[in-house]
Amino acid sequence: MNRKFSTILAVLLILALSTSTVGAAGAIKLSGSLGASWPLHLDGTLYGLGGYTQGIYVTLEGFGQVMNVTCTNQGGKTAPGQNPGKISVSGSQDIGSKAITKRGTADVLVLADQTVVDIEVCANGNWTAAYDVDWEFGIVQVFDTASDALLLWQHYTCDPDLNNPGHYLCTLDSEISYH
């Protein structure tokens, strides 16, 4: 009799924990893709968000090399620019609790287009630059808005898409999910 009672109690406890907000906040998962064209972008769906009552936020950082710089002055004259080396971009998206579905999912679209170039690529500020980016890698992070705790960290490596010039294929090569 005690064994039967203990089994029923254990099943009820497991059910209660799995349907509560405490049990719902588990491992965060991201399905989607990191698109390495311009702008660098993350497009997908996050899962496992049920326990984050104040929402979450997602950051995307991308790193690469600047190539094929062309400078244009106000008169329309073009000249080759300097290939300055490194470029970094970043973007973020806040996902409030109302955007999280009852199933604990939310769509995510982050554009990383705020550029920081290490050195000037044109002669002076009267010239505008056009350039290509050779994307090397990207980092995606998901944080709990209430505590700023890191929930998910992903590292992507980017390689040129041989079938689509100017585009890159970024593949997930490392992931850490926190609770």
Answer yes or no: is 2 within a domain: no
pLDDT in tens, 127-155: 888 888 888 999 999 999 999 999 999 99
pLDDT at residue 6 in the model = 43
152 within domain boundaries:
yes
13 in any annotated domain: no
**3 in a domain, yes or no?**
no
Between CA 134 and CA 86 the distance in angstroms is 9
* Domain housing 64: 25-177
What integer is the mean pLDDT of 33-51? 89
Q: Does residue 8 lie within any of the structural domains?
A: no
14 lies in some domain: no
- In the chain, how many domains are there? 1
Long-range contacts of 118-125 (CB under 8 A, 24+ apart): 118/84, 118/85, 118/86, 118/87, 119/82, 119/84, 119/85, 120/82, 120/84, 121/66, 121/69, 121/71, 121/81, 121/82, 121/83, 121/84, 122/69, 122/71, 122/79, 122/81, 122/82, 123/71, 123/79
pLDDT at site 5: 41
Q: List pLDDT tens digits, range 53-109.
A: 999 999 999 999 888 888 999 999 999 887 777 888 999 999 999 999 999 999 999
Per-residue pLDDT band for 161 (boundaries 50, 70, 90) equals confident
Question: How does residue 12 score in pLDDT terms, banded at 50, 70 and 90?
Answer: very low
Residue 15 lies in a domain: no
Does the structure show a pLDDT above 50 at 171?
yes
Looking at the domain assignment, is residue 125 inside a domain? yes
pLDDT higher than threshold 90 for residue 48: yes
Neighbours of 5 (CB within 10 A): 9
Identify the band that residue 9 occupies on the pLDDT scale cut at 50, 70 and 90: very low
Closest residue by Cα to residue 20 from 50, 48, 55, 54: 50
Instruction: Please report which helix (H) or strand (E) contains residue 18, including its range.
Output: helix 2-19
